A and B are shown apart, each in its own frame.
Chain A
C-alpha cells in the first residue's frame, strides 16, 4: 500500500520552473512514510513504498527516481537487501539506508560492500536527512556526468570543422604544406589511392583518405625528403598509412570513443571503393593541396539504439 505518493510537485523559490529531484522512500510503517513525505515535499518529489518488492516495482516503472531511502528493518526483504537489488537493477539510483542503533553492523557491511551512498541513524533530524538527500542527488548527477557517453551521444560530436583542423595540422607539420578547402573531389582519369583506418569499440567506423597517386607520391617525397621518382610504391603507401593513422588517432580523441584503431591499409587502383558493412557516410570533406584534390570520409556504423535516437 502506498501512502502520500507524489507528495510534492511544488517549486522552490529559486528553482522556478525546474522539476524537483524525485526520491523514493521505503518503510513498512505508513505513518513514518507520511512523516517523511511531509517533511521532504518542499525540496523533493517524494514517492513512497511500503516494502522492498513495492519499491522495486515502482523503480521499474519510473526511471526518473534518482535516490532511494530505505529503512533497514522490514518484513520480507530488509533495507540492505533491497538496496543491493537496486544496485544491480538500477545502479545509477543513489542509495541511502536508515537504521536503528541495533542494526549498525548490518549497515556498516552494506556500506563496505558499496551498496549504499549514505547511512543514517534513526531517529534522524530533518536537516540531516535533507542534507544527505541533497548530497545523494548530487552524487547521482555526478555519476551520470562521469559515465562515458552512450554511442548515440557520440554521433554528434564531430563536424566538418574538426576534420579540417586535424587534416590541416597534419599537412602543415608533416608535409609543410597548406591544406585548402575545396568544394568537390573529382574522381578523374588518374589512379586514385585510398588509405584508411578502422575504429572499433565504443565508436565503430572508418576514416578514409582519398587522393590521386600522383599527389600521394609528391607528399610522400616531402615526408621522406627525397625526389618523388626516388620513392617506391611501398614507401608511398607507408607515408599515406602514417598520415591516415595520425588522422584516425586524432579523430578518435575527438569522439572520446573508447575505440581501438586498426593498422592503416591502402587500396590502390581505379574505380574502387572501400565499404564498411553496416556503416553510413557520416561526413565527407574535400580538400585541396598543392593544386590537387583530396577527400576525407568518415564512415560510421550505428549500433543498437543509436539509430533510433539519432536525428
Chain B
C-alpha cells in the first residue's frame, strides 16, 4: 500500500511517518508532499491508496485538495491529520468525503485505530 502524507511542516510529516511506523504501517511506501498542489500532481503520478493531509496549508488547503480530487473523479481514501479540531470542521471534512479526522497531537494508537481498515 502507498500512503501519501501532505503537510507543509516537515517536522509534522516526520511525526506522522513515525506514528505510522509505530502503528505497524512501516512496511508500506510512505511518500510526502508539502502542500495541496504538490500533492495533486503526485497523486496523479504515484496513485497512492491513502492520503493523510493537514487542513491548513499554504497554496492549497487539505479540504481544497479533497474537493479537487472529487471534482476530478479521483477516488482515493482520504483522512485529515490536523489542528483544526472544531466540530464544524470535522463535519465539513466528513461531508466532503474524508474517512476520518485525527486531531493533533495524536498518538500512534490513534493512528492505528483510524487506519484499522487499511491494516494488512
Contact A249 B14 (CB under 8 A): no
Q: Which residue of B lies closest to A236 (CB)?
A: B11
Interface residues on B, range: 20 to 34
- Complex Cα distance, B21 from A225, in Å, reads 13
A170 within 8 A of B: yes
A198 within 8 A of B: no
Q: Which residue of B lies closest to A237 (CB)?
A: B11
B68 within 8 A of A: no
Distance between A109 CB and nearest chain B CB, rounded to angstroms: 33
- Residues of A144-180 contacting chain B, CB below 8 A: 169-170, 173-174
With A170-B105, A173-B106, A246-B104 as given contacts, are A261 and B83 in contact (CB-CB < 8 Å)? yes
Residues of B within 8 A of A246 (CB): 83, 104-105
Distance between A182 CB and nearest chain B CB, rounded to angstroms: 21
Residues of A within 8 A of B85 (CB): 249-250, 252-253
With A170-B105, A173-B105 as given contacts, are A249 and B84 in contact (CB-CB < 8 Å)? yes
With A223-B11, A242-B12, A261-B56 as given contacts, are A252 and B105 in contact (CB-CB < 8 Å)? no
A288 within 8 A of B: no
Residues of A within 8 A of B107 (CB): 173
Contact A258 B88 (CB under 8 A): yes
Contact B84 A235 (CB under 8 A): no
With A249-B82, A249-B83, A261-B84 as given contacts, are A241 and B9 in contact (CB-CB < 8 Å)? yes
Interface residues on A, range: 20 to 34
- Complex Cα distance, B7 from A263, in Å, reads 13
Residues of B within 8 A of A225 (CB): 14, 18
Q: Please encode chain B, from 87 to 109, with 1 for each CB lying within 8 Å of some chain A CB and 0 for all others.
A: 01000000000000001111100
Q: Which residue of B lies closest to A253 (CB)?
A: B85
A117 within 8 A of B: no
- Complex Cα distance, B58 from A249, in Å, reads 17
- Complex Cα distance, B103 from A252, in Å, reads 13
A208 within 8 A of B: no
- Complex Cα distance, B107 from A223, in Å, reads 13
Distance between A119 CB and nearest chain B CB, rounded to angstroms: 33
Contact B56 A174 (CB under 8 A): no
Contact B84 A174 (CB under 8 A): no
Residues of A within 8 A of B9 (CB): 238-239, 241-242, 245
How many residue-residue contacts, CB under 8 A, span A and B?
56
A120 within 8 A of B: no
A220 within 8 A of B: yes
With A238-B10, A241-B9, A261-B56 as given contacts, are A249 and B103 in contact (CB-CB < 8 Å)? yes
A185 within 8 A of B: no
- Complex Cα distance, B14 from A252, in Å, reads 25
- Complex Cα distance, B88 from A310, in Å, reads 27
- Complex Cα distance, B56 from A250, in Å, reads 14
Q: Which residue of B lies closest to A239 (CB)?
A: B11
With A173-B106, A249-B85 as given contacts, are A235 and B10 in contact (CB-CB < 8 Å)? yes
- Complex Cα distance, B10 from A241, in Å, reads 11
- Complex Cα distance, B82 from A173, in Å, reads 14
B15 within 8 A of A: yes
| Complex A-B: 29 CB contacts under 8 Å | A173-B106, A173-B107, A174-B15, A174-B105, A220-B11, A224-B14, A225-B18, A238-B11, A239-B9, A239-B11, A242-B11, A242-B12, A245-B83, A245-B104, A246-B105, A248-B83, A249-B82, A249-B83, A249-B84, A249-B85, A249-B104, A250-B85, A250-B103, A252-B86, A253-B85, A258-B86, A258-B88, A261-B84, A263-B56
Q: Which 8 A-B pairs have the closest CB atoms?
A: A249-B83, A173-B105, A239-B11, A253-B85, A246-B104, A242-B9, A170-B105, A238-B11
List chain B positions with a Cβ less than 8 A from chain A: 9-12, 14-15, 18, 56, 58, 82-86, 88, 103-107
Q: Besides A173-B107, A239-B9, A253-B85, 17 other CB < 8 A contacts?
A: A173-B105, A174-B15, A174-B105, A220-B11, A239-B11, A242-B12, A242-B15, A245-B83, A246-B104, A248-B83, A249-B83, A249-B84, A250-B85, A252-B85, A252-B86, A258-B88, A261-B56
